[in-house]
Structures are given as C-alpha cells and as structure tokens.
C-alpha cells in the first residue's frame, strides 16, 4: 500500500506533525513549571526518537493477497499506531520503547473493506482495533498485552471522512465517523452549519472517537456531550451491523 506523497505525516512519538518543533522559549517555560511542580532544577535534553533508532518486533501476521491494497506492515505506520496520547504513552514513545506494536495497519475505504478485515481477524485470531485520530488517553488504541490473539490489526478510519448528506430543514447531517474535527467543520461551513463541538483534542480527534468515548467539548455551547448531538448511528460490528432509526 502506498501513501500519498502530498500528505503531511504526524509524529509517531507525540503530538503534531513532523517538522513542527517546540521553541527554546516554550521549553524554558516548561522547565520553570516542572521545577515548581517537581522540585527539579536541572534538566538533560533527550533527543526525540527516529524510525532508524528503534528496533521493532517483526510482524507476526501475513496479510492476505486480497487485502494487500488496503493494509501495510510499514515501520512508520506500525510505530504511529502503537500508542495514544496519554502522558504515559508519550513518555514511552519519546524514550523509543515500542515493545508492543500492531502487526499490521489497515486503511479501509468502504464498508465491505471493514467486513473483510473482520473476517481475516476472525479466521486468524487477530485483535481488531478501530483507530480514529489516535488522541486516546485511556488505552483505547493500544494493542492488548495478553496472549489471547496471534496478532494485532489496527484499522485506521482516516478515509471515512466525508459529510455524506445534509437535511437543511432539520439541520441534521449524515457523517462518516473517521472525519477529524477541522475537516468536519470545513465541510459544514460553506452551507452555514457547524457542529459546535470543540474539545481539547479537536484538531486530531475523530467523530467516531468522540462517540465511542462519550466525549465532552470544552468549548461547546449548551450541548457539551457528543451524545447530545447524535440522532442515530450505523455501526459495522464483527457480528453484523447495528443501526438505529432517526
């Protein structure tokens, strides 16, 4: 599988995009805060990890030929999908500790793709982890530590990113749940609508992630929980579809 060359890559070890660095002034402010909180007066700078500096566990699965177009075992993809964004996750990743990465990463584009990925996971005893924006702080995207599964497949929903339909009378929209906050607002703005749901991780978190974690928006107005905004859902689950009516 090949990623578009124009796509800007996210850092695999922390928040933001590759090439975005923290300024010396910002680091100085952080050090002042850490000195105040932790009583530590001297700090040793640690370089951020690179792909080449990390020895990653070999992939334990063989991607079926029928799924090779939407799956990858690329090192960067496996590193990027190992952790969420909790303080513990970031600490592990900055130290270059990637002991339990997913074995493969899938980028489905259709509902049928997801069903086929589930079948592969069922047949080969793989853990299937849905992945939205990766800002999880509760371990939701982290591969399981136990030995119940033969391998782990991270299913990245980045291509399910469209507003499919808008009901102007009721101001309701049918939206794919892989869309990130900024892209969702970009699609609603031209027609004068907004979800008005802005949480701390808005820039890099997905609608599906908000729903799965019952997220609350710090800058939302009146309706602060995502479930206040939801009329109905269609969920593709391993045992079949779950769908509610409007």
**pLDDT tens-digit series, residues 70-128:** 999 999 999 999 999 999 999 999 999 999 999 999 999 999 999 999 999 999 999 99
Show Cβ contacts of residue 4 under 8 Å, excluding neighbours closer than 6 positions. none
Please give the DSSP secondary-structure letter assigned to residue 56.
Answer: P
Could you give the count of Cα atoms lying within 13 Å of 77 in the half-sphere of its Cβ? 20
Question: 117, 153 in Cβ contact below 8 A?
Answer: yes
Give the count of beta carbons closer than 10 Å to the beta carbon of residue 28. Answer: 9
Question: 194, 188 in Cβ contact below 8 A?
Answer: yes
Question: 59, 72 in Cβ contact below 8 A?
Answer: no
- The token duo for 158 is 């980045």
Taking the C-alpha atoms of residue 213 and residue 231, their distance in angstroms, rounded to an integer, is: 17
| Percentage of the chain lying above the pLDDT 70 cut | 97
Taking the C-alpha atoms of residue 2 and residue 130, their distance in angstroms, rounded to an integer, is: 20
Q: Which CATH number among 3.30.43.10, 3.50.50.60, 3.40.50.2300, 3.40.50.720 corresponds to the domain 49-156?
A: 3.30.43.10
Tens digit of pLDDT per residue, the chain (246 long)? 655 546 899 999 989 999 998 888 998 998 999 899 989 888 887 889 999 999 999 999 999 999 999 999 999 999 999 999 999 999 999 999 999 999 999 999 999 999 999 999 999 999 999 999 999 999 999 999 998 999 999 999 999 999 999 999 999 999 999 999 999 999 999 999 999 899 999 999 999 999 999 999 877 677 789 999 999 999 999 999 999 998
Category of 139 on φ-ψ map: left (φ > 0), alpha (ψ -120 to 50) or beta: left
What global pTM score does this model have?
Answer: 0.92
Residue 103 has what pLDDT?
98
* Strand 104-106 with 126-131, pairing: unpaired
Domain at 163-243, CATH class:
alpha beta
In the chain, where are the structural domains located? 49-156, 163-243
Taking the C-alpha atoms of residue 93 and residue 141, their distance in angstroms, rounded to an integer, is: 14
């Amino acid at each position: 599988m090949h990623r578009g060359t124009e796509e800007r890559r996210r850092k695999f070890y922390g928040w933001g995009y590759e090439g975005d660095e923290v300024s010396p002034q910002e680091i100085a402010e952080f050090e002042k805060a850490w000195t105040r909180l932790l009583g530590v007066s001297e700090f040793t700078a640690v370089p951020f990890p690179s792909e080449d500096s990390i020895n990653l566990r070999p992939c334990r699965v063989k991607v079926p030929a029928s799924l090779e177009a939407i799956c990858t075992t690329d090192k960067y993809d496996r590193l990027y999908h190992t952790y969420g964004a909790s303080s513990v996750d970031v600490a592990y990743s900055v130290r270059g500790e990637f002991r339990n990465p997913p074995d493969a990463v899938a980028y489905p584009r259709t509902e049928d793709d997801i069903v086929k990925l589930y079948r592969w996971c069922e047949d080969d005893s793989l853990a299937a982890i849905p992945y939205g924006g990766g800002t999880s702080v509760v371990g939701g995207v982290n591969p399981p530590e136990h030995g119940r599964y033969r391998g782990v497949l991270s299913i990245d929903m980045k291509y399910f990113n469209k507003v499919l339909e808008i009901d102007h009378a009721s101001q309701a929209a049918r939206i794919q749940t892989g869309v990130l906050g900024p892209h969702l607002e970009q699609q609603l703005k031209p027609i004068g609508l907004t979800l008005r749901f802005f949480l701390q991780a808005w820039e890099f978190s997905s609608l599906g992630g908000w729903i799965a974690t019952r997220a609350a928006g710090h800058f939302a107005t009146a309706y602060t929980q995502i479930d206040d905004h939801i009329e109905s859902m269609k969920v593709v689950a391993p045992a079949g579809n779950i769908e509610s009516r409007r």
